[in-house]
Amino acid sequence: MKNLLKILLLFFAVQYISAQEPYLKITVAKDASGDFQSIQEAVNSTRDLGPGEVEIFIKNGVYNEKLVIPTWKHQLTLIGESKDKVIIQNGDFSGKINPVTGEKFSTFTSSTVLVQGDDIHFKNISIKNTSCNEGQAVALHVEGDRFIAENCNLLGCQDTLYTATEGSRQYYKNCYIEGTTDFIFGEATCVFEGCTIKSLANSYVTAAATPPNQKFGYVFFDCELIAKDGVDKVYLGRPWRSYAKTVFINSTLGEHIVEKGWDPWTGDQMFPQKEKTTYYAEYQSKGKGASPKTRVAWSHQLTKNELRKYTIGNIFSGNQNDWKPNTK
């Protein structure tokens, strides 16, 4: 009986350990030393709606791809050999003619990487849209739920990162994000933790479009906002839609951040007077751009009591399940 119990315990232990490990590992290398030479081929090769996590290791190189991870591909972890040397890039922008269809790209079809599947994790990868000052040009467009970007570079100009889709939950840890105008925008619930955010022009960092029934929009923990030389007039955000929610907590703001902090996006006739419904707030901002006394009257400085609800567990609760991002 004791031996049977030991065998059963060993069996369940093996099952538990195996459940934590990828059931398949793939290598991508441009020099043909791996399983595939393109990232798209590697993604396509995985089982549709597969039984567990697949790890795709990407060797150093510049991958000129327009990568799509569709809804039926999930639980994929893409890991670069080196953050600065694994580069996925493309140059589509709004207004450019698609050579395949003959139609113009829009903001929403311009992305270098489109993530539609759930439980996708990027680590140690640079994603770049090479177009600048030609129109909206998205580097990363995420629609899936429970998305993680860890130690990644997101590079572009206008509209670098599109955090799309109501109900989508996205976690960005120790990432570098750069752009010019509204370069973090969209509807999703997102946490940015320990990220460096660089403005390349006098404009706006965020443009949230938080749905009215969504408790959280963008929450930045311990981030640093910096700017290109000569950039000296940048707003923390402006509301793309009327119920935009954006909060900076314990973040360091460079002197390029204007004293008012936030812009109401006036002149939008379809969505007027957004400042009446938008929720913008800070808690203990630091640096030369921190100026709580001069912020616009319709923004907020969080109290310690209000701060309590801003935990990752609380922010990512809901959608019929709670989620705690795993950055192993």
Q: Please tell me the chain's helix, strand, coil percentages from 3-state DSSP, rounded to the nearest 5.
A: 15, 35, 55
Lookup: tokens for 28: 């991508």
What three-state secondary structure class fits 275? helix
* CA–CA distance, 10 with 14 (Å, rounded to integer): 6
* CA–CA distance, 321 with 316 (Å, rounded to integer): 9
Tell me the β-bridge partners of 311.
Answer: none
Query: From the CA atom positions of the chain, what is the Rg in Å?
Result: 21
Strand pairing of 113-115 and 300-301? unpaired
Can you list the alpha helix ranges (DSSP code H) found in 193-328? 304-307, 312-315
Report the pLDDT value the prediction gives residue 4, as an integer from 0 to 100: 52
108, with CB counted inside 10 A (0-12, 13-18, 19+), is middle
Residues labelled catalytic: 159, 182
pTM: 0.94
Report the pLDDT value the prediction gives residue 12, as an integer from 0 to 100: 42
Quick count: other Cβ atoms within 10 Å of Cβ 9? Answer: 10
Can you list the alpha helix ranges (DSSP code H) found in the chain? 2-20, 39-45, 304-307, 312-315
What three-state secondary structure class fits 186? strand
Cβ neighbours of residue 275 closer than 8 Å, sequence gap 6 or more: 239, 264, 296, 298
Q: Which CATH architecture has domain 2-315?
A: 3 Solenoid (2.160)
Cβ neighbours of residue 179 closer than 8 Å, sequence gap 6 or more: 156, 157, 158, 159, 160, 161, 198, 199, 200
CB 117 within 8 A of CB 71: yes
Cβ neighbours of residue 121 closer than 8 Å, sequence gap 6 or more: 76, 77, 78, 147, 148, 149, 150
Place of tokens 């999703």: 188
* CA–CA distance, 142 with 118 (Å, rounded to integer): 10
* CA–CA distance, 93 with 108 (Å, rounded to integer): 9
Report the pLDDT value the prediction gives residue 275, as an integer from 0 to 100: 97
- Per-residue tens of pLDDT for the chain, all 328 residues: 555 555 544 444 434 444 479 999 999 999 999 999 999 999 999 999 999 999 999 999 999 999 999 999 999 999 999 999 999 999 999 999 999 999 999 999 999 999 999 999 999 999 999 999 999 999 999 999 999 999 999 999 999 999 999 999 999 999 999 999 999 999 999 999 999 999 999 999 999 999 999 999 999 999 999 999 999 999 999 999 999 999 999 999 999 999 999 999 999 999 999 999 999 999 999 999 999 999 999 999 999 999 999 999 999 997 568 999 988 6
Report the pLDDT value the prediction gives residue 20, as an integer from 0 to 100: 74
From 145, 79, 126, select the one nearest 328 (Cα to Cα): 79
Lay out the sheet containing 245-249: strands in order across.
Answer: 24-28, 54-58, 76-80, 120-123, 147-150, 169-173, 189-193, 218-221, 245-249, 279-283, 300-301
